[in-house]
Structure 1
C-alpha cells in the first residue's frame, strides 16, 4: 500500500512540475522553420519550446507584438513552466521589447537576442524609399531604421537578463557598404547593443544563419544556463537585472 501511494505521489509530482519554457521568435520575412535547429537543440537540453510562426510582413511591429505574444505565453503557462525564456532572431527581439513596453511577464527568465536591430539598421535608412522595399518587407520592415521616429529608438532600455549574439561575417557585400563595420550584412555589431544588456558575444556568422549555426546555438544555450557567454569575444556587463537577482 505504501509503495502504491508513493508511486501516485511521484506521478503527481511529474505532472505538476515542468521544465522551463523557451519562446522562439523568428525575424522579418521568415517563418518558424528558420528556428528549427535552435528548437531541436533546446528540446534536447530539456526545455519546453514554443516556436512561434507569425506573419511578419503583414502588420506593424505594434500589432504583431500584441498578436504574437499572448498566445505564446499562454502555451508556456499551460506547461506549468516556472520560467519563460526567449531566444529571438532579428526583428523577433524588437517584438519582445515592444510587448514589454506596456506589459510584464512575471516569470520572465533570460533572453538571447541574435542579430537584434536594437538601434535599427542603416540598411532600412538607405533603402526604405527604393521601389519594392515596402512591398517586400511590409509595415514592420519600414519601422526598423535608425531615426528617432523608428520603433527601435523609441523603446525603453531593457530591464531583463539579456544576452546579445552579433554576427561579424557578411554574405551581402552591397548591403555591408551601408553599414559601420563590423557587420553581419544586415546590421552592425554596434546597432545590436542596448542599454541594460548583460552580455554580448560576436561570432563569425552572417545575419541569416546566426540562429542556425552551431556557434550561435551553443552560445544561446550557454547564456540560458549560466547568464553569460563563453569564448574570447564574450563580454559581460554589470546589468541591473543580474545585480538584482
Structure 2
C-alpha cells in the first residue's frame, strides 16, 4: 500500500553503473523507449535503467517516475505495435531476447521483454506490474503478447483484470497472443514436486498457484478475447518421458495441459520446454502468427 511519503520524490545518490537488467529480484513497471522503471521484490526500492541496462537513478517510486519521464526518449513503436514477451518461472527477460530479435528482424512490431520476479510474488502481482507497463505505452499502441510457460498465465490474469474493470481502451487494442508451453490447465509436475516441502521455498507463490492451488486460482484467469495460438512441445517419440509428467509433453508441461478452448491454432513441436522460445522453427511460427493469426503450414 502506497503511503503519503511514497508520493514525495526521494532519490538516492547514484553512479551510472551497468547492471544485469534485473534477474529474479526485479520487476518492470514502466517501459519508455527501452528505459525501464523497476521494483526490487526484496529491498522494496526502485530504480531506472536505460536502454543499455545502466542504472540512471534509484530511490522511491515517485523519484524514479519523475526521472524516467524527464530523461527517457519518447517511445516510438514499429508499426504502432508493442509485442510484449514474458519469460517463465525462474527465468529472466534475457531468455526471450532471441525471440525478440526475430520479431525485430521481421519488422512486425517492437519487442518488449518484460522482466518480473517470478519466484518472489504471486501471479496477481506480476499481472499488476504488466498492466503498469502497458499503461506506460502510447494509448494508440496495438498490443500483442508472447509468453513462455508461466508468462502466459500472467497474461491471462492481466486480461481478466482488464475485463473486471471494463478497461475497453486496453481490451480493444489486443491483437494476438502466442503461448509457448503454457500450463493452461495447471501443471501436474508442480503438484508432484509440491509434496517435497521445498518446492514453495524455491519457486515461491507463483509455482504453488500452478500446482496444488490451481483449482482455486484458475478462476482468476481469462481466455484471450483476441486470436491466440498455442505451441506445445511433444517429445514422446524422441526421448523417454519425465516420470513426474503423466502424459506426452515437453518434459515439464504435457500437451493436454497446454490446451485452452478458443485457440485459433495449435502447433506441436519436438522441443524441450526450456528451449521453446529459442527453437528457430518456433520463432518462425511466432512471427507468422503475429502477422497472420495462424501458424505456417508444412
The TM-score with structure 2 as length reference comes to 0.66
Q: Give the Å deviation of 1:148.
A: 5.6
> 1:173, 1:31 → 2: CA distance?
28
Q: Give the Å deviation of 1:127.
A: 1.1
1:3 matched residue in structure 2: none
Task: Give the counterpart of 2:84 among 20, 23, 26.
Answer: 23
User: Which structure carries more helix by proportion?
Assistant: 1
What SS does structure 2 have at the residue aligned with 1:143? helix
Does the CA contact (< 8 Å) of 2:127 and 2:155 recur in 1?
yes
2:100 matched residue in structure 1: 39
Deviations 1:19-69 (A, max 9, x none): 411001111100001001001011111121111111000011111111233
Higher relative contact order, chain-length normalized (CA < 8 Å, sep 6+): 1
16 and 191 in structure 1: CA distance in 2 versus 1, 3 angstrom threshold? closer
Give unpaired runs (5+ residues) of structure 1.
Answer: 1-14, 233-245
Shifted more, 137-146 versus 210-219: the winner is 137-146
Does the CA contact (< 8 Å) of 1:158 and 1:195 recur in 2?
no
> 1:16, 1:216 → 2: CA distance?
24
What SS does structure 2 have at the residue aligned with 1:211? helix
1:139 matched residue in structure 2: 205
> 2:270, 2:112 → 1: CA distance?
27
What SS does structure 2 have at the residue aligned with 1:186? coil
CA RMSD between the two structures: 2.4
1:96 matched residue in structure 2: 155
Give unpaired runs (5+ residues) of structure 2.
Answer: 1-75
> 1:160, 1:178 → 2: CA distance?
33
State the aligned residue count.
214
Q: Give the Å deviation of 1:94.
A: 0.4
1:185 matched residue in structure 2: 251
User: Which structure carries more strand by proportion?
Assistant: 2
